[in-house]
Amino acid sequence: MKENVYPCSWDKETVYLKNVVRDPSLVIGDYTIYNDFVRDPREFEKNNVLYHYPSLNQEKLVMGKFCSIACGARFVFTAANHAMGSLATYPFPIFAEEWGLDPEAIRDSWDNKGDIVLGNDVWIGYEAVILQGVTIGNGAVIGARAVVTKDVPPYAVVGGVPAKLLRMRFPREICRKLEALAWWDWPKEKLAAHIKDLQQGRLENLTK
């Protein structure tokens, strides 16, 4: 994959995410794109990855290859939480100086649910929100403005608040074959030769 930021020379609203993020805890696969027609898409790390303090929580945002992330999609990490087991939701340990607390107790201010992981060829719709600890399977589609609080199976279509399964993109057997095929790992030359087969659903041509 080339190191160019923009997949299209005429489109400055879409970027290859891998080539614009700098935080090593954001692990982005080849050809994954982000489109933003409101803000500079190169600022994805600042505007779309929220409450992310990897030095405290060791959390990662992991995206596979060929994902499509729509404008305003956000990934919300652990520090957005307030500890539900506490009798007070106020995050006292964060303000350790004010309350004379041990700064090391800051992690006790939230419930840590872990990494956000996207498989390959995932489509995240406009202004969708993905919460901490969620894994989204290969080929899944997240509807516009959905709030995803639970794992999403491969090739599922989910939507709503909270997001629920709407349907599967394909019958189970086709989903299984696509996962086994793992076309996203093919060499570029092979993939380029089969783009029409992918677009037109000619699975038999991909398995020869």
Choose among 135, 122, 118, 134: nearest CA to 178. Answer: 122
Q: Do 44 and 34 form a contact (C-beta atoms < 8 A)?
A: yes
Question: What is the signed CA dihedral for 162, 165, 167, 169, rounded to 10 degrees?
Answer: 90
> How many angstroms separate the Cα of 99 from the Cα of each of 12, 87, 93, 138?
47, 17, 8, 46
* CA 98 to centroid of chain Cα atoms: 36
* CA 33 to centroid of chain Cα atoms: 11
Q: How many CB atoms lie within 10 A of CB 68?
A: 17
The catalytic residue among 82, 107, 145, 177 is: 82
Return the structure tokens found at 76: 């919300």
82 is catalytic: yes
DSSP 120: S
- What positions carry a catalytic annotation? 82
